[in-house]
Amino acid sequence: MKILVTGGAGFIGGNFVHYMVNKYPEDVIVNLDLLTYAGNLETLKPVEGKPNYKFVKGDIADRPFIMDLFEKEQFDVVVNFAAESHVDRSITDPGLFVQTNVMGTQTLLDASRQFGVKRYHQVSTDEVYGDLPLDRPDLFFTEETPLHTSSPYSASKAGADLLVLAYYRTFGTPVTVSRCSNNYGPYHFPEKLIPLMISRALADESLPVYGKGENVRDWLHVSDHCAAIDLIIRKGKVGEVYNIGGHNERTNLEVVKTILKALDKPESLIQYVTDRPGHDRRYAIDPTKIETELGWEPKYTFDTGIAMTIQWYLDNQEWWKHILSGEYSNYFENMYGDRLH
Residues that bind ligand TYD (CB under 6 A): 87, 182, 192-193, 196, 208-210, 215, 217, 252, 276
Task: Pick from 81, 140, 300, 313 the residue near ligand NAD by CB under 6 A.
Answer: 81
Q: Quick check: is 205 catalytic?
A: no
Instruction: State the minimum distance, in angstroms, from the CB of residue 261 to ligand NAD.
Output: 23
Say whether residue 270 binds ligand NAD (CB under 6 A): no
- Please indicate whether residue 127 is annotated as part of the active site: yes
Least distance (Å) from ligand NAD to the CB of residue 264?
27
Please provide the DSSP assignment of 20-85 as one string. HHHH-TTSEEEEEE---TT--GGGGTTTTT-TTEEEEE--TT-HHHHHHHHHHH--SEEEE--S--
Q: Tell how strand 183-184 and strand 175-180 pair up.
A: unpaired
Question: Exactly one of 35, 78, 109, 231 binds ligand NAD (CB under 6 A); which one?
Answer: 35
- Give the interface segment with ligand NAD, choosing from 138-146, 181-189, 259-267, 272-280 (CB under 6 A): 181-189
Least distance from ligand TYD to the Cβ atom of residue 259, Å = 12
Contact 220, 180 (CB under 8 A): yes
Check residue 239 and give left, alpha or beta (phi > 0: left; psi -120 to 50: alpha). Answer: left
Nearer to ligand TYD, 190 or 236 (CB): 190
Angle between helices 193-202 and 317-325 (to 10 degrees): 90
Active-site residue flag, 297:
no
> How buried is 63 (Cβ within 10 angstroms: 0-12 exposed, 13-18 middle, 19+ buried)?
middle
Q: Based on CB atoms, which residue is closest to ligand TYD, 28 or 87? A: 87
Number of residues that bind ligand NAD (CB under 6 A): 30
The β-bridge relationship of strands 216-218 and 249-251 is antiparallel
Residue 256 touching ligand NAD (CB under 6 A): no
Taking CB within 5 to 8 Å according to partner kind, which of ligand NAD, ligand TYD, none is near residue 285?
none
Neighbouring C-beta atoms of residue 266, cutoff 10 Å? 9
Q: Which residues are catalytic?
A: 126-127, 153
